[in-house]
Amino acid sequence: MCGRKVGFVIGLILLGWFGSAWAADSKIAYVDIQKAINECNAGREAKKTITKDVEKFQHLIADKQKELQGMKESLEKQALMLTPDARANKEKEYQNKLREFQRWGEDSQNELNQKRMEMERNISVALVKVVQKIGADEGYTLILEKNESIVLFASKAIDITDRAIKAFDAQKK
């Protein structure tokens, strides 16, 4: 039992010695990939494209909502003059259009989200390659991605996000 404790303590001492030797020779940095995606030129362009698509989608929604509102008002005005069968048919037609509109809205929203995610993924993959090149060229031992759930604290002195953005933008020119 006592031998295990001594071995454990010797192991900790060796780990501390090798750890401090490794730390003296290591060069560590981190990159905020999400910030880089948002601030690089390609990210800004992607954001503009998505914003235009969203505005177009919103105009289409407004047009379809006006059409549905017109159908509903027409149905309400004609309700007393229509036969029960005709009224039921008009209500069914309105409900079908409403469901169709809702499905279209969900599908369109999903398409926009997929397009945004695809653009971000493409930029992210390219940014990672740039960061890997910076790491190799400048002799970094470790470059982490800043993520609030993983990196709880890191000094701004080791943040190379802005350098990665500049290198990425320069590569795209």
Between 44-53, 84-93, 108-117, 145-154, the lowest mean confidence (pLDDT) is in 145-154
pLDDT, mean of residues 89-95: 92
**Most distant CA pair in the chain: distance in Å?**
99
Taking alpha carbons only, the member of 163, 165, 146, 164 closest to residue 155 is 146
Domain ranges of the chain: 25-172
pLDDT, mean of residues 119-138: 95
In this prediction, residue 23 has a pLDDT band, given cuts at 50, 70 and 90, of low
Mean pLDDT in the chain? 86
CB of 160 within 8 A of CB of 29?
A: yes
Paired tokens of 52: 């235009």
pLDDT, mean of residues 94-117: 95
CA–CA dist 159, 137 (Å, integer): 16
- What is residue 22's predicted lDDT score, i.e. its pLDDT? 47
pLDDT, mean of residues 143-163: 86
Burial-class residue 83 by CB neighbours within 10 Å (0-12, 13-18, 19+). Answer: exposed
Taking alpha carbons only, the member of 56, 41, 68, 54 closest to residue 167 is 41
What's the pTM?
A: 0.71
User: Is residue 85's pLDDT more than 80?
Assistant: yes
Q: Where are the alpha helices (DSSP H) in the chain?
A: 2-25, 33-39, 41-78, 84-137, 161-172
Helix (H, G, I), strand (E, B) or coil at 29: strand
**% of the chain exceeding 70 in pLDDT:** 86
pLDDT, mean of residues 63-68: 93
User: Is residue 173's pLDDT more than 80?
Assistant: no
In this prediction, residue 19 has a pLDDT band, given cuts at 50, 70 and 90, of low
pLDDT, mean of residues 94-100: 94
CA–CA dist 46, 120 (Å, integer): 8
CB of 155 within 8 A of CB of 129?
A: no
